[in-house]
A and B are shown apart, each in its own frame.
Chain A
Amino acid sequence: MSESEVRQLPLHRYHEEAGARFAAFAGYEMPMRYSTIKAEHHTVRSGVGVFDVSHMGEVFVRGPEAVAAVNRLVTNNVGRLEDGQALYTAMCNDEGGIVDDLIIYRLASDELLLCVNAACRHTDVAWIRDRIEGDVRVEDESDEWVQLAVQGPKAMGVVGRLFAAACDLRPFTCAFYEFRGYRLLVARTGYTGEDGVEIYAPVGTADAIFEAVMEAGADDGIALIGLGARDTLRLEAKLLLYGSDMTTATTPLEAGLGWVVKFDVGDFIGRDALLAQRESVPRVLRCFKLEARGVLRSHYPIVVDGEVVGELTSGGIAPSLGDASIGLGYLPSHLADREEAEVEIRGRRLPLSVQRKPFYRRAAT
């Protein structure tokens, strides 16, 4: 992609004022960090932070057959949603490979919001339009919405000062609230492993809602958080990144997303392939921790009993684990119970511990 195609976020000037370092991501000039990644990470784990994730795609499917039509495109059961409920799902190709992972919000019986990855937005919209059937309209409104993720143990206090009723939202539910003549969607979802919300706001009210969030969180030390810390936060919480931990060459069963594949609610694209694979899933996603000095990065080979058996798909530092280095990657299924492995870093083999569970889970509230 040429530089001229890199676009600025609607709230760009606020990021500049906050001293952001920018990098191109998914066609946008995105704030990577404002202070340091580690400091921003700890702000979200212990207080509250705001991410401008307006690069994410907002695709609306509207029409009387919206629910049934979308249900044939994704692995989870959209049919179980009531108005104001959301679910996480994969969208697969005929081979069961993941085209994208997304959150689907049921706004009304005839209106779904699909929040898709920024880098996948255009392929997703084309994919959906090519395959969707029934009385529906697929409308890509990504350019008309900003999205602010307010995340951290103090996030709901901040949100409550803006929209008192939003405190009653349960996880994976959403509601509309009036804000200066606009309708905003507030959803209790996120990508950090912390409590919090994602606020979908029309571009016309972007400045006002951003300033209102910052003001509501001022006493709690609210701060802008860049994509750098978003990556360390999601990695600790074992939240997968599309394009790294999953691609069209990965199935949800391999990626540990079997829980979003509902075989018993009718046909969907990829169902036959996934049913066949269910008998013997070739590889499994695992969490790795480097038990030596160094930093894990994606594509580093994973070694078991002297043989390269897979590779890391993500890696980095875990500030919540005393800056240990952790990663995600795949092991062949016959090695799924291994608790130790090795990683090859620049020709040297270093010890890894292996586990199924995330390295970070927030304390129950």
Chain B
Amino acid sequence: MSDNEKVPTELQYTREHEWLRRGPTITVGITHYAQDQLGDITYVELPEVGDEVTAGGTFGVVESVKTYSDLYAPVSGTVTEVNDAAVDDPSLLNSAPYGDGWLVKIEPTGGESELMQPEEYESFVSEVND
């Protein structure tokens, strides 16, 4: 996987290793780095459509064989879509973290976490790694 595929340039990132893609709604997932650190992901717990999430608040959990990690919402808003395919097959988060392994879509209502641009996230991850 190239660096561009590890940290796609069209996305923004949180310190908790979620990504978001802006569009009509905001799509959220976990980063390549996050899935790599977690290892085999075996379980994903997500909110339901219509649930409210708060920027910086938890909205779900991912569990791997070894550990579990809370998911943090990058923006406040209403959940409009949940990726049931990822709930059914959590390995999608490993194999396609920016594609089929997306988690939720959120209709923003204002309020965002501190977000990083791709190059910031890249250096953030390399510092974490040191």
Q: Which residues of A contact B (CB under 8 A)?
A: 32-33, 36-38, 228, 231-232, 293-295, 297, 316-317, 319, 323, 325, 346
Given A32, A232, A293, which contacts B43 in the complex, CB threshold below 8 Å? A293
Distance in Å: Cβ of B96 to nearest Cβ of chain A = 16
Q: Which residues of B contact A (CB under 8 A)?
A: 39-40, 42-43, 45, 61, 63, 65-66, 68, 87
Residues of chain B with a CB closer than 8 A to A33's CB = 39
Cα distance A38–B40 in the bound complex, in angstroms: 7
**Are the CB atoms of A316 and B43 closer together than 8 Å?**
no
Q: A33-B39, A37-B65, A294-B45 are in contact. List 17 more A-B contacts (CB 8 A).
A: A32-B66, A36-B39, A36-B40, A36-B65, A37-B40, A37-B66, A38-B40, A228-B39, A228-B65, A231-B66, A295-B42, A295-B43, A316-B65, A316-B66, A317-B65, A325-B42, A325-B43
**Are the CB atoms of A317 and B39 closer together than 8 Å?**
no
A contact patch SS? mixed
**Are the CB atoms of B61 and A232 closer together than 8 Å?**
no
Distance in Å: Cβ of A22 to nearest Cβ of chain B = 12
Residues of chain A with a CB closer than 8 A to B40's CB = 36-38, 317
Distance in Å: Cβ of A24 to nearest Cβ of chain B = 14
List 28 interface pairs A-B (beta carbons < 8 Å), by A numbering: A32-B66, A36-B39, A36-B65, A37-B39, A37-B40, A37-B65, A37-B66, A38-B40, A38-B65, A228-B65, A228-B66, A231-B66, A232-B65, A293-B43, A293-B87, A294-B43, A294-B45, A295-B42, A295-B63, A295-B68, A297-B68, A316-B66, A317-B40, A317-B65, A319-B65, A323-B42, A325-B42, A346-B61
Cα distance A36–B43 in the bound complex, in angstroms: 16
Q: Which residue, of A293, A297, A325, has the highest number of chain B Cβ atoms within 10 A?
A: A293
Cα distance A319–B42 in the bound complex, in angstroms: 10
Residue of A nearest to B37 (CB): A21
Distance in Å: Cβ of B58 to nearest Cβ of chain A = 10
| 10 shortest interchain CB distances as A-B pairs | A295-B63, A37-B65, A317-B65, A38-B40, A36-B40, A295-B43, A317-B42, A228-B66, A323-B42, A294-B43
Residue of B nearest to A228 (CB): B66
Cα distance A319–B40 in the bound complex, in angstroms: 11
Cα distance A32–B65 in the bound complex, in angstroms: 12
Distance in Å: Cβ of B72 to nearest Cβ of chain A = 15
Distance in Å: Cβ of B44 to nearest Cβ of chain A = 9
Distance in Å: Cβ of A2 to nearest Cβ of chain B = 18
Cα distance A33–B37 in the bound complex, in angstroms: 11
Distance in Å: Cβ of A35 to nearest Cβ of chain B = 9
